């Protein structure tokens, strides 16, 4: 096998593959490595990936390390991709396409720029420092979890989510940007908007969210609720208007 170095300090690629139990691989002319198998580099105390990968037909797991960058990640992963629990600040270098799940939770991300745009399974970005969902996948086949971040808006979230949608523990005050196509439950506690949705907790919330946005109930960047518009939603849904509507997180007009 021809001796190829990707970085000055790295060993021969064959030795690296043997060290990390990487099997069924092909070394390309540009030094990238295609793998027709799963790759498990999790919990290896890595500060950077040992190779530059091309296409991986199985799963790719580099979670529970000390990575600060995704340089060297595969260009595509047919199975799941996880870089969970590292110190990554930017998704630059992550796979362009992921057939299964995509898990970048518990890192130091402040934005989702460079993220894969189509994810066949679930997408998880919880426990980061995200202030925006701009850049996240256009469609997610499974659930979407952006809980425990610093989000103030759902703008930029996927247009389509195939399972449940959860945004626990953020500071979201309105629901503009909510997925157009959504197929399961919503989990939303510990957000200012939760107290509005709780008024309709026995009704299908996807419809309620559509009406909240359509009627423009929440105004002035999530600061104001127009009471007569909120009451109109109750009438539209043939629901009794509560005798008192007290919203501590909003000014009510």
Q: Return the pLDDT at 205.
A: 92
Domains: count for the chain = 1
C-alpha–C-alpha distance, residues 17 and 1, integer Å: 13
Q: Is 90 helix (H, G, I), strand (E, B) or coil?
A: coil
Can you give the residue range of the structural domain that contains 220?
204-253
8 Å CB contact between 82 and 67: no
In a domain, 242, yes or no: yes
In a domain, 214, yes or no: yes
In a domain, 71, yes or no: no
Q: Are strands 224-225 and 218-219 parallel, antiparallel or unpaired?
A: antiparallel
pLDDT, one tens digit per residue, over 175-189 is 999 998 888 899 999
What contacts 119, CB < 8 A, 6 or more positions away? 98, 101, 102, 137, 139, 140, 141, 142
In a domain, 21, yes or no: no
Q: Token pair of 8, please? A: 């000055």
In a domain, 208, yes or no: yes
Quick one: 131 exposed, middle or buried, by C-beta within 10 A (0-12, 13-18, 19+)? middle
In a domain, 195, yes or no: no
The mean of the pLDDT values for the chain is 93
pLDDT, one tens digit per residue, over 88-106 is 999 999 999 999 999 999 9
- Contacts of 152-156 spanning 24+ positions with Cβ under 8 A: 152/222, 153/177, 153/222, 154/178, 156/112, 156/132
> What string of pLDDT tens digits covers the 253 residues of the chain?
343 444 433 458 999 999 999 999 999 988 899 999 999 999 999 999 999 999 999 999 999 999 999 999 999 999 999 999 999 999 999 999 999 999 999 999 999 999 998 899 999 999 999 999 999 999 999 999 999 999 999 999 999 999 999 999 999 999 999 998 888 899 999 999 999 999 998 899 999 999 999 999 999 999 999 999 999 999 999 999 999 999 999 999 9
In a domain, 240, yes or no: yes
Q: Token pair of 180, please? A: 């157009």
In a domain, 59, yes or no: no
């Amino acid at each position: 096998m021809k001796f190829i170095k990707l970085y000055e300090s790295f060993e021969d690629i064959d030795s690296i593959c043997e060290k990390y139990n990487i099997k069924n691989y092909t070394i390309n002319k540009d030094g990238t490595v295609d793998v027709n198998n799963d790759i498990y580099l999790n919990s290896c105390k890595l500060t950077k990936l040992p190779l530059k990968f091309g296409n991986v037909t199985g799963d790719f797991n580099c979670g529970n390390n000390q990575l600060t960058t995704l340089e060297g990640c595969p260009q595509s992963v047919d199975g799941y991709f996880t870089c969970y629990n590292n110190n990554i600040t930017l998704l630059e270098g992550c796979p362009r396409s992921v057939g299964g799940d995509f898990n970048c939770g518990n890192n130091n991300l402040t934005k989702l720029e460079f993220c894969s745009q189509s994810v066949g399974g679930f997408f998880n970005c919880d426990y980061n420092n995200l202030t925006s969902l701009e850049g996240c996948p256009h469609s997610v086949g499974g659930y979407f979890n952006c809980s425990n971040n610093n989000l103030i808006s759902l703008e930029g979230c996927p247009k389509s989510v195939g399972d449940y949608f959860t945004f626990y523990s953020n500071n979201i005050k309105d629901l503009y940007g909510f997925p157009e196509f959504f197929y399961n439950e919503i989990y939303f506690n510990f957000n200012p908007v939760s107290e509005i949705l709780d008024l309709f907790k026995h009704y299908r919330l996807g419809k309620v969210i559509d009406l909240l946005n359509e009627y423009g109930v929440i105004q002035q960047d999530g600061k104001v609720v127009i009471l007569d518009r909120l009451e109109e939603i109750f009438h539209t849904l043939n629901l009794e208007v509560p005798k008192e509507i007290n919203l501590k997180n909003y000014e009510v007009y």
